[in-house]
Structures are given as structure tokens and as C-alpha cells.
Amino acid sequence: MQEKSDFNSTNFLLFLYKWRKYLLIIGAVSIGASILFSSPFFIVPKYKASVIMFPTSTNSISKALMADNYSGKQDILEFGADEQAEQLLQILNSNKIRARLIQKYNLFDHYDINPDSRYKNTLLFKEYENNISFRRTEFMAVEIEVLDKDPQMAADIANDIAALLDSTKNAMQKERAVKGYKIVETEYNKLKTEIQQMEDSLTKLREAGVNDYETQAEAYNTQLAIALAHNNTSGVHALEEKLKTISENGGAYVSLRDALDFEKKQLGELKIKFEEAKVDAEQELPCKFIVDSAYKAENKTYPVRWLIVVLSTISAILLGILTIIIVENIRRKKFTFS
């Protein structure tokens, strides 16, 4: 078997030597053709620009900066984890960002797509996906990668996508935050109005002579007992009138006073929520940490001409060898039968 293997290897080398001229011609033609067809005349070179960023770990500004009793409070400088990275990827692939890029850079003209074509959007979206991609790196970062025939435009698009990520996510959150703020604001103002009405009612009761029901009742009863003991008729009559006043209004006074204390405590808690909701509705924080911004590339990324030449040449030579072997076998069979 070893002798047979050596014999076959020798025959194959002899076979290659016999057809060396043809194989060299095939290789040379393949090299020339691959160099020609991989040139900018046939394949438009593209330049790559990329942005690498980490997501943040916080969503609510008020919870991160203001709420002392919030158990989930996190450092606003902390990097996000898998969940936050997946959220960023989902937003990056959203139609909102794609639509704004198409409009800003007029991608129909830039990608040479006829805006009157029946399938213009399909063609544009396909070209967009071929040139713009997003992925999560092995270090839990998110990478934006843009390929374009214009190196400066590739960098501009990549940086704009990173900027649009903030505005898009903040707009989504702000829509909900503003509605929440309006709800809290309505309840806060409603409670303030109720408290003001209760204070006005207490003011009227105080004007009627009820300032502190328990203290006044105790004091008047003590004075009444003294007046009765001294047989002070006028004093007894005056004290009985005052007792009558506080007895008629005392219940309302106590109810209003206790309710007012409770409502003021509720107002204090609601005010904290109101201020937190206001911050969430009016303020913004970036949702990412930029590690590397995109810059204008100096060398093209696509196509890799040397790789095209090498693979094309090897493929052509192998195909040539296979063709020659088939032709040789056909000739041998014809010679045998003849």
C-alpha cells in the first residue's frame, strides 16, 4: 500500500509537470482577471467606521439621584449589564433611527436607488442592513459598524447613530414620564386645594372662638367650677356661652384638625413624588458611555483584493486540474474501446 501511495503521488506530480504550461496559463489568467474584476471599476471600495459604547445601568434620573428610600438605587456612573445592552440593540434596530438616517443623508440617492421604484423601500432596507450593523461585543459593549464608499460619511453616520440612540430612548421614556408627571401634578394640586379649603374652614372656626378644643374645654370647665364656687353669676353665664360655642363647633374643629394633619403628611409625600416626576419629565441623561467614537478611515475595508486574487487563482487552478483529469480519462476510455 505504501508503494502504491508513492506511485500515485509520483504520477500526480508527473501529471502536474506534464500540464504545467496550461496550469501556469490558467493561473496567470486567473490572477489578471481577479485583479481586474476586484478593481474599483467593478467593485466599489467601502470604508468602515465604528463606535463602541457601554450602556448605563439606570433609567430613572429621580430614582438614581433623588430617592433616598428607593431600594433599587444605583450609581449613575455604573455600566449596564446584558439586559441594558439588549435594550440598546433593540433601539438601534428600530425604524425611528433608520427613518431619521434615511432622511438626513438622503440614502435613496446615496445608494443609487430609484425613489420611483415599486420596491424602493425593500431595496433601501436591504442596502441599509448590508452597510449598517450592530452587535454586542464579548465585553458586553455595543458596537455600531458602518460601511460606506465615502469614509467621512461612514464616520458621520456611525456617530449620528450613537447620538440618535440617546434622543430616541429619551423620547420614548419622556413620553411616559410626562404623562406620569401630569397625573402626579393633578393629584398634588387637588390635594393642595383641599388642604386650603380645610384651613379656611379652621380659620372660620377660630374666628368663632374655637382655637384648641381640648385645651379650651378643660380651661373653661375649670373656670366654670371656680365661678360656681364663688357664686359668680355673670362669670358663670359668660363661661357657659363659651362652652356652648366650643361644644357646637368642637367636633368639626377636631375632625378638620386631624384630617388636616393627615392630609399635610400625604401632601409631603406627594410633593416628593411630584418633584421626582418633574425631574424625569424635564431632565435627560445619556443612556450610554462612549468608549470609541468613529473617525474617517484611511484604508478601505472591502473588498480585500489579495484574498480575492488568492482564492480565485487557487480555485481556477483546481478547476483546471479537475478538467484536465476528466479530459484525460475520457481520452483513455476512447483509446481503450478503439
The grid coordinates of residue 216 equal 379650651
Q: Looking at the predicted structure, is the pLDDT value of residue 80 above 60?
A: yes
Using alpha carbons, select from 10, 14, 8 the residue that is nearest to residue 324. Answer: 14
Q: Which stretches of the chain are DSSP H helices?
A: 2-18, 20-37, 61-65, 82-92, 95-105, 107-110, 120-131, 151-207, 213-229, 233-282, 305-337
Q: What average pLDDT is seen over the chain?
A: 80
Question: Do residues 115 and 108 lie in contact, with contact meaning Cβ atoms separated by under 8 Å?
Answer: yes
Q: Which pLDDT does position 276 carry in this prediction? A: 83
How far out from the chain centre does Cα 237 lie?
Answer: 77
Q: Which pLDDT does position 220 carry in this prediction? A: 66
CA distances from 188 to 145, 185, 277 (A): 47, 5, 12
Mean pLDDT of 11-15: 75
Q: Which pLDDT does position 239 carry in this prediction? A: 66
User: 199 Cβ partners below 8 Å, 6+ apart?
Assistant: 260
Greater confidence, 159 or 11? 159
Q: Which pLDDT does position 6 carry in this prediction? A: 44
Q: Looking at the predicted structure, is the pLDDT value of residue 76 above 70?
A: no
Q: Which pLDDT does position 145 carry in this prediction? A: 94
Q: Which pLDDT does position 65 carry in this prediction? A: 65
- Sheet of 132-136: strand order equals 132-136, 142-148, 47-55, 288-292
Q: Which pLDDT does position 107 carry in this prediction? A: 92
Work out the pLDDT band at 2, boundaries 50, 70, 90.
very low
Greater confidence, 335 or 172? 172
Greater confidence, 7 or 87? 87
Question: Do residues 36 and 266 lie in contact, with contact meaning Cβ atoms separated by under 8 Å?
Answer: no
Percent of the chain with pLDDT over 70: 78
State how far the Cα of 306 lies from the Cα of 297, in Å rounded to an integer: 19
Instruction: Name the phi and psi angles at 66, rounded to 5.
Output: -115, -35
Work out the pLDDT band at 307, boundaries 50, 70, 90.
confident
State how far the Cα of 299 lies from the Cα of 296, in Å rounded to an integer: 9
Give CA torsion, residues 245, 250, 251, 253, to 10 deg.
Answer: 120
CA distances from 24 to 10, 236, 312 (A): 20, 134, 14
Q: Which pLDDT does position 52 carry in this prediction? A: 93
Condensed to tens digits (0 to 9), the pLDDT of residues 24-75 reads 888 888 888 877 776 666 677 889 999 999 988 776 666 666 655 554 455 6
Condensed to tens digits (0 to 9), the pLDDT of residues 171-226 reads 888 888 888 889 989 999 999 898 888 888 877 877 777 777 667 666 666 776 77
Q: Looking at the predicted structure, is the pLDDT value of residue 1 above 50?
A: no
State how far the Cα of 228 lies from the Cα of 220, in Å rounded to an integer: 12
CA distances from 192 to 19, 111, 302 (A): 99, 59, 66
Mean pLDDT of 138-156: 91
Greater confidence, 113 or 61? 113
Q: Which pLDDT does position 337 carry in this prediction? A: 54
Condensed to tens digits (0 to 9), the pLDDT of residues 252-274 reads 777 788 888 888 888 888 888 88
Q: Which of 119-123, 191-195, 310-314, 330-334 has the lowest mean pLDDT?
A: 330-334
Model-level pTM?
A: 0.66
Amino acid residing at 197: Q
Q: Which of 222-236, 278-292, 303-317 has the lowest mean pLDDT?
A: 222-236
Domain map of the chain by residue range?
180-282
